[in-house]
Chains A and B, each alone.
Chain A
Amino acid sequence: NAGVTQTPKFQVLKTGQSMTLQCAQDMNHNSMYWYRQDPGMGLRLIYYSASEGTTDKGEVPNGYNVSRLNKREFSLRLESAAPSQTSVYFCASSAVGETQYFGPGTRLLVL
């Protein structure tokens, strides 16, 4: 039982490049989330998926797209990376209305 896994662990991009961050959970959770963490600002919600087939914007969705591929997997895509998207990205999952469990994070640097 791995919990929430994220790939890659680290990534360096040049401005304008695209990439997809992958997230998978093996806890049979309905809900999945993407957060970004910046120094001194806690974690801010980018997008979430309450259940398979649905996605909703969070606090900071601009510049990102998501896909809930199936119940296990929820990906985050940066179509044209900008230096402002340098951050640590966390995926989380939960049963409806219950505790969120976080993955280990993806550290992204955009030059």
Chain B
Amino acid sequence: GENVEQHPSTLSVQEGDSAVIKCTYSDSASNYFPWYKQELGKGPQLIIDIRSNVGEKKDQRIAVTLNKTAKHFSLHITETQPEDSAVYFCAASNTGRRALTFGSGTRLQVQP
């Protein structure tokens, strides 16, 4: 089955700096890669996703890049703000498998 590895497990940045979280996946058939943000005591919320026919996608301060050859995808947050502090999860799936396989999460702390 699919295996998703996520790094780093914790990340601390100063407000205004950029943050990068990286994930690798094992199943070459995976074609959908969402990123979720989870705040304390809440369920995960989708922040951005990318499909395998696209190499990069941006939404304001957030961007995701995908390297299918290397089976890597990354989340980039620019101009970080204290409200970006949360746990971020990457995930992967394919049409046939339907369900998501999650990485282990990255706790991002943005210092004011």
Query: Contacting A42 at CB < 8 Å: which of B32, B95, B103?
Result: B103
Residues in B neighbouring A4, C-beta threshold 8 A: 43
Nearest-CB distance from B104 to chain A (Å)? 5
Q: What's the tally of chain A residues with a CB closer than 8 Å to chain B?
A: 24
Nearest-CB distance from A47 to chain B (Å)? 9
Query: Contacting B104 at CB < 8 Å: which of A40, A45, A50, A103?
Result: A40
Contact between chains at A99 and B44 (CB < 8 Å): no
Chain B: CB-nearest residue to A31: B98
Give residues 31-89 of B contacting A (CB, 8 Å). 32, 34, 36, 42-46, 49, 89
Q: What's the tally of chain B residues with a CB closer than 8 Å to chain A?
A: 23
Nearest-CB distance from A42 to chain B (Å)? 4
Nearest-CB distance from A98 to chain B (Å)? 9
Nearest-CB distance from A65 to chain B (Å)? 17
Residues on B facing A (Cβ under 8 Å): 1, 4, 6, 9, 32, 34, 36, 42-46, 49, 89, 95, 98-105
